[in-house]
Chain A
Amino acid sequence: MELGLPFLDQIAGMNLGAAAIAVLMGLVIGVVFGILPGLGPLLGVTLAIPFTFNMDPVTGVALLMGIYQGGSYGGAVTAILLGIPGTPIAAATLLDGRPMALAGRSSEAVTVATAASWFGGIVSGFALLALAPALAEFALSFGPAEIFCLALLGLTAIATLAEASALKGLLAGLMGLMFAAVGTDPYTGISRFNFGVTELSGGITFVALLVGLFAIPEVLAQIENPARKGERLEAIRFRLRSFGTIVSRFFSYLRSSVVGVVVGIVPGIGGVVSSFLSYKLARDLSKEPEAFGKGEPDGVVATEAANSATTGGALIPMLSLGIPGDPIVAVMMGGLLVHGITPGPALFLTDADVATGIFVMFLVGAVLLLPLGAFVVPFFVKALSIPQGLLLVVVLMLAIYGTYAVHSRLFDLWTMLAFGVLGYGMVKFGIPRAPLIIGFVLGPVVEVNLRRMSSLAQADPLAYLAGRPISLVILALVLLALVYPLVSSVLAARRTASQ
């Protein structure tokens, strides 16, 4: 079956005006959340989820994608101006962006970051357009075994590769799968783990879990250390000459964007790794590697183009395979599931208009990032002067009433608080929260396909798997994802011992 994208025909028949406004709003919200240290795009997307329920799927996802794109970029502004990355993915931008600012080149650094984010976003938009349908077409022939193995790969990769402790990551992933099992057995319809609580018979409310895990711990952590005062910064403005580096350093922009897309496609790695990897590559290939770390614009290009391109890359496995590449994409996937849209290969057959709308809106967001960065961000840095108390009130109110909005019941608020305490404890004990959310989103996929596979395999699962080479390859990758952290920690220990 030819999937492709009946792209232009479909766009002509679509009304994407509301979605375009949503993506613009998302960019604005995302940039503000990115600029403010401690918030970031994940919190922005989490808090926006309930507001998408009354929107059509494309408009809702457009809002979330805008926040993702804007948030990924906004963190760079704070990294450059304050020396604090607004988001973890902007940490690498500090290396050269901050020295540029200290040398009185803030506007140049922010302009280069804007240009690089814009370029990276557009490259990843086209990569999304080209690769997602092709991958989905390939995945259409997948059966329960392949889908189960893929979900397992997504989960183990995120659990073991993204954070320091692979075991803690695996535990978080398992907890996510268990929380997803609360409610009703998808196979038999039998109630389970609801402990006689009627509100749990439909399962744990996704938004309550999400907001509890990501928004409440943030508020609790900031209340624990109420350090940040409002900041006043020097004015910045867009510099056309610095924007021209897109032409003079074209290959640097392109290489960094390609690194971002490739890393984004691999589940569990994400923007932090892509920007540091791209930075290292840029420094290694540079004729003046000693200039890096001292205010070299190529360093800003490398990190910002890469982390921006990671956003589109991470959407590829989610849309084509139903496997979210990072926690923000997992949240978006949850948003689509709420609308009854199931990401995966069938999306391109059953909801091709939604897939097309998402592609178009991603590109619209990538394009709009430039005028937003050029003309609006200089005013947005004033957001840094918002007192912390006020900011916490805003986050808390959005968290509480965003959760309440889903079913208009207080039970969800208690669920949110319980997951807030759990999330805070996870932060304290160094247990990553991202695998939990991905386990929760993938839970039904894992369970249904595992049980289907076990039904098909009957008494001999090994013989069944042996006849499915794609599953075997994916399982080998799962094994690699499990073994890699162990091997690398052993090697690191040996290196330390030998030193």
Chain B
Amino acid sequence: MDRSQTITGLFAILFGGWIVAETYTSFKISVSSHIGGGIDAAGYPRLLGVLAVSVGVLLLASGVLAKGGNAGRRSAGRLWAPALLCVILAAYFQTLLLFGYMLATPFLVSAVLLLANERRPIVIAAVSVAATAAFGLLFEFGAGLLLPDGRLVSLGI
């Protein structure tokens, strides 16, 4: 069995099936009108969903029937590290709301450097502060972007 192919097939069936179900249950789609005949607003995503399910069935069948195993691209590295970075990014987006760019960014930069195996505290501190300042200047003055202030800063805290 080819595990990678099988899991991808299952994913395609679930994803396509969900799309098809949505086209029947979603109120806004089901009331859509035909303009000039032909495929309506629900028909097109439904067609895509059916095609995805069909591809999924083929993937699943070929995965189950495959000789030899394939479990996807096996990782030689630290799988926890990308997962941790995703959590850190999610936390960063939340803290941006509260603390703003200038306070939240040095922590993100430090975390990325640590995850990239940088262990020298002075380098981490220096790069975090310098990168925050440099990108802040680039985005604010170079690209004219208003960086998030954070609610605490807006409240004067």
Name the residue on A nearest B146 (C-beta): A408
> Is B125 an interface residue, CB under 8 A from the partner?
no
Q: Name the contact of A408 in the complex, choosing from B19, B36, B93, B145 (C-beta under 8 A).
A: B145
Residues of A within 8 A of B26 (CB): 192-193
> Is A375 an interface residue, CB under 8 A from the partner?
no
The reply to whether A401 and B116 contact each other, CB–CB distance below 8 Å, is no
Residues of A within 8 A of B116 (CB): 222-223, 226, 387-389, 392
As a 0/1 sequence over residues 363 to 394 of chain A, the CB contacts with chain B under 8 angstroms (1 = contact) are: 00000000000000000000000011110111
The reply to whether B52 and A185 contact each other, CB–CB distance below 8 Å, is no
> Is B39 an interface residue, CB under 8 A from the partner?
yes
The reply to whether A393 and B77 contact each other, CB–CB distance below 8 Å, is no
The reply to whether B32 and A188 contact each other, CB–CB distance below 8 Å, is yes
The reply to whether A387 and B118 contact each other, CB–CB distance below 8 Å, is yes
The reply to whether A410 and B97 contact each other, CB–CB distance below 8 Å, is yes
Residues of A within 8 A of B45 (CB): 178, 181, 192-193
> Is A219 an interface residue, CB under 8 A from the partner?
yes
> Is B129 an interface residue, CB under 8 A from the partner?
no
With A223-B82, A388-B116, A401-B135 as known contacts, state yes or no: A431 contacts B143, CB within 8 Å: no
The reply to whether A170 and B55 contact each other, CB–CB distance below 8 Å, is yes
Q: Cα distance A279–B53 when bound, in Å?
A: 40
Name the residue on A nearest B50 (C-beta): A174
Chain B: interface residue total (CB-CB under 8 A): 67
The reply to whether A389 and B118 contact each other, CB–CB distance below 8 Å, is yes
Name the residue on A nearest B8 (C-beta): A429
Name the residue on A nearest B31 (C-beta): A190
Residues of B within 8 A of A479 (CB): none
> Is A251 an interface residue, CB under 8 A from the partner?
no
The reply to whether B44 and A171 contact each other, CB–CB distance below 8 Å, is no
Q: Cα distance A431–B31 when bound, in Å?
A: 35
Residues of B within 8 A of A221 (CB): 82
Name the residue on B nearest A452 (C-beta): B38
The reply to whether B112 and A389 contact each other, CB–CB distance below 8 Å, is yes
Q: Name the contact of A430 in the complex, choosing from B72, B77, B79, B147 (C-beta under 8 A).
A: B72
Name the residue on B nearest A51 (C-beta): B143
> Is A321 an interface residue, CB under 8 A from the partner?
no
A221 to nearest B CB, angstroms? 7
B90 to nearest A CB, angstroms? 7
The reply to whether B143 and A429 contact each other, CB–CB distance below 8 Å, is no
Residues of A within 8 A of B76 (CB): 225
The reply to whether A457 and B38 contact each other, CB–CB distance below 8 Å, is yes
> Is B64 an interface residue, CB under 8 A from the partner?
no
With A188-B35, A410-B97, A430-B73 as known contacts, state yes or no: A171 contacts B131, CB within 8 Å: no
Q: Cα distance A221–B77 when bound, in Å?
A: 9
**CB within 8 Å of A: which of B7-21?**
7-8, 12, 15-16, 19
Q: Cα distance A50–B138 when bound, in Å?
A: 13
Residues of B within 8 A of A181 (CB): 44-45, 48
Residues of B within 8 A of A429 (CB): 4, 7-8, 72-73
As a 0/1 sequence over residues 56 to 87 of chain B, the CB contacts with chain A under 8 angstroms (1 = contact) are: 10110010000000001101111101100110
Q: Name the contact of B73 in the complex, choosing from A394, A428, A447, A455 (C-beta under 8 A).
A: A428
Residues of A within 8 A of B33 (CB): 188
> Is B37 an interface residue, CB under 8 A from the partner?
yes
As a 0/1 sequence over residues 435 to 462 of chain A, the CB contacts with chain B under 8 angstroms (1 = contact) are: 0000000000001001111111110000
Q: Cα distance A421–B73 when bound, in Å?
A: 15
As a 0/1 sequence over residues 87 to 131 of chain B, the CB contacts with chain A under 8 angstroms (1 = contact) are: 001100100110000000100110011011110000000010001
A491 to nearest B CB, angstroms? 17
The reply to whether B85 and A220 contact each other, CB–CB distance below 8 Å, is yes
Q: Cα distance A128–B25 when bound, in Å?
A: 48
Q: Name the contact of B139 in the complex, choosing from A223, A396, A401 (C-beta under 8 A).
A: A401
Choose, from A31-39, A239-247, A283-291, A412-420, the stretch at the interface.
A412-420
Q: Cα distance A396–B111 when bound, in Å?
A: 12
Q: Cα distance A414–B93 when bound, in Å?
A: 8
With A168-B8, A178-B45 as known contacts, state yes or no: A190 contacts B59, CB within 8 Å: no
The 5 closest A-B pairs by CB, nearest first: A454-B38, A389-B116, A455-B38, A225-B77, A220-B82
Question: Which of B's residues lie within 8 Å of A, judged by CB?
Answer: 4-5, 7-8, 12, 15-16, 19, 22, 26, 28-29, 31-33, 35-39, 41, 44-45, 48-49, 51-52, 55-56, 58-59, 62, 72-73, 75-79, 81-82, 85-86, 89-90, 93, 96-97, 105, 108-109, 112-113, 115-118, 127, 131, 135, 139, 143-148
A-B contact list, 13 entries, CB within 8 Å: A193-B45, A226-B117, A387-B116, A387-B118, A393-B109, A396-B108, A397-B131, A408-B145, A410-B97, A417-B90, A429-B7, A430-B4, A454-B39
17 additional contacts (CB under 8 A) given A174-B51, A181-B45, A389-B127: A171-B59, A174-B52, A175-B15, A177-B48, A178-B52, A220-B82, A223-B112, A225-B76, A225-B77, A225-B78, A393-B112, A410-B96, A427-B73, A429-B7, A430-B4, A451-B44, A454-B37
